[in-house]
Structure 1
Amino acid sequence: MALQLDVERVRAQFPALGRTYRGQQVVYFDGPGGSQVCQAAIDAVSHYMSSGGANLHGVFPTSVETEALLAQTRHSVGCLLNAAEEEVAFGPNMTTLTFAISRALAREWQPGDEIIVTELDHRANVDPWRRAAEDKGVVVKWLTVHPTTLTLNVDELDELLTPRTRVVAVGLASNAVGTVTDVRAIADKAHAVGAWVAVDAVHAAPHIPIDRDALGADILLCSAYKFFAPHVGIAAIRRDLFEALDVYKLDPAPSFIPDKLETGTQNHAGIAGVGAAISYLSTLGEGPTLREKLVSALETIEAYEDTLAWRMREGIRELPGVHLYAAPHSIRKTPTIAFTVDGVPSREVCRRMVDDYGLFIADGDFYATTLAHKLGVQASGGFVRAGLAPYNTNLEVDAFLDALARVVSSLR
């Protein structure tokens, strides 16, 4: 049974929540684009920089301390994702890491090989694979999304997969509409034909417990700026694949994992913030190990956010002229709510919400361009998207619904 989230305790750890705009208290519903940063992460970044940072492999204290910091943060990330710490690599962001991994894997591809990407995904888990496929003469196949249920048509894999399929790239959760995909079912089918499975967990990581191996992911990627930390990309790659991966790197750079994927000097101060954010996250759960505390914390967050998301979705459904894009009630979802207003550009809705009420929401396709085109929302400027985080409250949701009703009434 999940713990009860003490939201006021959580809010006290996010100094950005005290911001005002045009004399109004700001409300952050832009979490899907990046969460606010917790005080522990801010302090860790500041401490690292003020104590003296350094590059690696030196005998002097700041270099030794930096290496220890990276090792400790790898351990923490491994606990978050259920991966060994040596399987965890850092980078500028998930997109850059995915391009590096796709290029490396593609070195072994032959013309006529195949990859599969999906219509539900953010393009960061589509285009790095598609570009690599184009370079090598590899066939790109698409797993389609059902336009009503907003779920992937997984049964299509029985026809799409062949012995020449090299990679299946799939998102754990949609950053646009929140649908959580049954990745394990996809991975089992992919592995049966010898394909690797690359999972984009960027949007899922702040909201649900993640177990890379239980998902059947060979490559799992996420970004720490989605879960209360600075901008750092993370890849957790299965050891056998990682060790065989022929990455593009400088000749003198390490050839062992995980260092061989980490081209150039990493963002050490940011990585300090990642470790601190995970440590903070663990305080919201319970258990004898860091892994168990993190799983408990994310179960607690998911239960809390689900109640807020249900309240927001049901309120939106009652508004005339507003179209909600959400999977059916029975489908697991992150607390990401996408909608459009008939006849009103999505940007204008966002502008009125922030200028008149201090509510930060976003508009666009959010790089889920295939889904946006399929749903026909591009003409209005894409979706309006509001996302919830554990620092949001019922009162904020009610304020959002009241403001949206006023804005819609005035614009239509």
Structure 2
Amino acid sequence: MNLPIDVVRAAFPALALRDDGRPRLYLDAPAGTQVAGRVVEAMSHTMIAACANDGGSFRTSVATGAIVEAALAAAAALFNCAEDEVIFGLNTTSLFFQMAPLIAANWQAGDNILLTRMDHDANVSPWLQAAEARGVEVRFLEWDRETFALKLETLGELIDSRTRAVAVGHASNFLGTINDVAAVCAAARAVGAVSIVDAVQSAPHIALDVGAIGCDLMAASAYKFFGPHLGVMYISKRLQGLIRPLKVRPSVDEMPTRLMPGTPSFEAMAGTTAAIAHLAWLGEAAGTVRADAPLRQRLVAGLGAAQAHETELMRRFLTGIATVSGVTLHGIANANRLHERVATFTFEIEGHSADAIAAELAARNIFVWNGYYYAWEPAGVLGLRERGAVRVGFTHYNSLDEVDTLIAALGAISNRV
């Protein structure tokens, strides 16, 4: 299951760019990945050859309708759900804000909802605001400072017969932890609560399966999995039956139109289809699946190959960062627990501000983020809302040599007082 890294990197036009002869080292993937070349081609083709609204009988409109159908099929394969359980929107944050008041419409005083201290605020603030509007209690599931895992043993104390919704992140954009969302969703399901999963950080790294997880709602953003700026959301048939949609009167009462008001970005839908095709192609590139296998099978194989490669990147990073003096890593550092995290690492270096580290790395054409990345709750737990930290994220287009380049740069920074 070895990815041919040179072949994979050639699939991304941006990786060939140079600045004054220096390559770019993209380690900013948790905030947004680079775009596969086939995505650019699909979007360009759509805007030239299929520039029309769907639903008409003329050639470009028919072509647009085919793009929509392909996007729904691709998204269904991504989530492992039915095509009439998928909608598209601007991004995950916007989709959660769109859905929150619909889900909360019947909440009453005395009800409660459960959020976590580990989530990106996109999966916190929409539900906080909905709870405030309906006058319901908000509870929080905490995480362990030693294991960097959610305290699942407390679910029985937090979820009861008046719990109406439970929201949890599949993978943390701050700590990198992969959460046992199936256990959280099972606890929600036991009391009839709506279960909501933010899959933005997991989608680029591991195969999603809403059936196995047992959630009612799941969202991801295509620009985090090598595609365009677009959000994609799974909505279970159970949840569809519980909510009243926001839509114009002439609009049909069928999915996806029922819960996707207004004209979507057809070019972004085409790009998302291409991004999902890229993930499926990784399995072919690694030699673990045939090109004529069903899309879902190729997706699972492709993400399996990506995860195997990223595991090696994580091992290399953890070995290297251990040699850099003054480092505090906020997340799982045990090489035996790499299956419990994605390749997102947040850290500090004693005596050096996060801003200064990011600036110096940028001067070396190494692209990383500094701050708290909208992870308001985990940053608050760690006391990092003010000073922030440095975050690097590896994905399947990164190489072991790039990890070594980063470690060498961090070593040089840490040795300078």
Using the size of structure 2 for normalisation, the TM-score is 0.95
- Among 338, 343, 349, the alignment partner of 2:346 is 338
Q: How does 1:16-165 map to 2 (within 5 A)?
A: 16-165=14-163
User: Alpha-carbon deviations, 1:352-380, whole Å to 9, x = none?
Assistant: 0110x210011111111111111122342
Is residue 108–residue 134 contact of structure 2 (8 Å, CA) maintained in 1?
Answer: yes
Q: How far, CA to CA, are the matches of 1:391 and 1:397 in structure 2?
A: 12
Provide the secondary structure at the position in 2 that maps to 1:244.
Answer: coil
Give 2:301's aligned residue: 296
Give 1:374's aligned residue: 381
Q: How does 1:97-246 map to 2 (within 5 A)?
A: 97-246=95-244
Give 1:309's aligned residue: 314
Q: How far, CA to CA, are the matches of 2:248 and 2:156 in structure 1?
A: 41
Give 2:245's aligned residue: 247
Report deviation, 1:22.
4.7
Deviates more, 1:386-395 or 1:55-64: 55-64
Matched residue type, 2:316: R
Provide the secondary structure at the position in 1 that maps to 2:282.
Answer: coil
1:394 aligns with 2:392: no
Q: How far, CA to CA, are the matches of 1:257 and 1:110 in structure 2?
A: 28
Q: How far, CA to CA, are the matches of 2:192 and 2:242 in structure 1?
A: 15
Report deviation, 1:305.
0.3
Provide the secondary structure at the position in 2 that maps to 1:284.
Answer: helix
Report deviation, 1:4.
1.5
Report deviation, 1:243.
3.6
Matched residue type, 1:402: A
Q: How far, CA to CA, are the matches of 1:258 and 1:218 in structure 2?
A: 16
Q: How far, CA to CA, are the matches of 1:231 and 1:272 in structure 2?
A: 12
Report deviation, 1:328.
5.1
Q: How far, CA to CA, are the matches of 1:38 and 1:188 in structure 2?
A: 36
Is residue 243–residue 256 contact of structure 1 (8 Å, CA) maintained in 2?
Answer: no
Matched residue type, 1:56: D
Deviates more, 1:123-132 or 1:62-71: 62-71
Give 1:409's aligned residue: 415
Report deviation, 1:246.
1.0
Matched residue type, 2:41: D
Gaps of 5+ in 2: 284-288
Provide the secondary structure at the position in 2 that maps to 1:59.
Answer: coil
Q: How far, CA to CA, are the matches of 2:317 and 2:20 in structure 1?
A: 25
Report deviation, 1:187.
1.2
Provide the secondary structure at the position in 1 that maps to 2:76.
Answer: helix
Report deviation, 1:24.
1.6
Give 2:286's aligned residue: none
Is residue 223–residue 231 contact of structure 1 (8 Å, CA) maintained in 2?
Answer: yes
Q: How far, CA to CA, are the matches of 1:111 and 1:252 in structure 2?
A: 35
Q: How far, CA to CA, are the matches of 2:103 and 2:358 in structure 1?
A: 41
Gaps of 5+ in 1: none
Matched residue type, 2:246: Y
Matched residue type, 2:414: V
Provide the secondary structure at the position in 1 that maps to 2:138.
Answer: strand
Provide the secondary structure at the position in 2 that maps to 1:266.
Answer: coil
Is residue 149–residue 328 contact of structure 1 (8 Å, CA) maintained in 2?
Answer: no
Q: How far, CA to CA, are the matches of 2:109 and 2:384 in structure 1?
A: 36
Report deviation, 1:255.
2.0
Q: How far, CA to CA, are the matches of 1:297 and 1:52 in structure 2?
A: 29
Is residue 353–residue 360 contact of structure 1 (8 Å, CA) maintained in 2?
Answer: yes
Provide the secondary structure at the position in 1 that maps to 2:415.
Answer: helix
Provide the secondary structure at the position in 2 that maps to 1:228.
Answer: coil
Is residue 103–residue 247 contact of structure 1 (8 Å, CA) maintained in 2?
Answer: no
Give 2:357's aligned residue: 349
Report deviation, 1:23.
3.9
Q: CA RMSD of the aligned region, Å?
A: 1.3
Is residue 324–residue 407 contact of structure 2 (8 Å, CA) maintained in 1?
Answer: no
Report deviation, 1:50.
1.5
Q: How far, CA to CA, are the matches of 1:193 and 1:52 in structure 2?
A: 47
Matched residue type, 1:167: A
Is residue 216–residue 238 contact of structure 2 (8 Å, CA) maintained in 1?
Answer: no
Provide the secondary structure at the position in 2 that maps to 1:283.
Answer: helix
User: Alpha-carbon deviations, 1:235-257, whole Å to 9, x = none?
Assistant: 01111212432122222223222
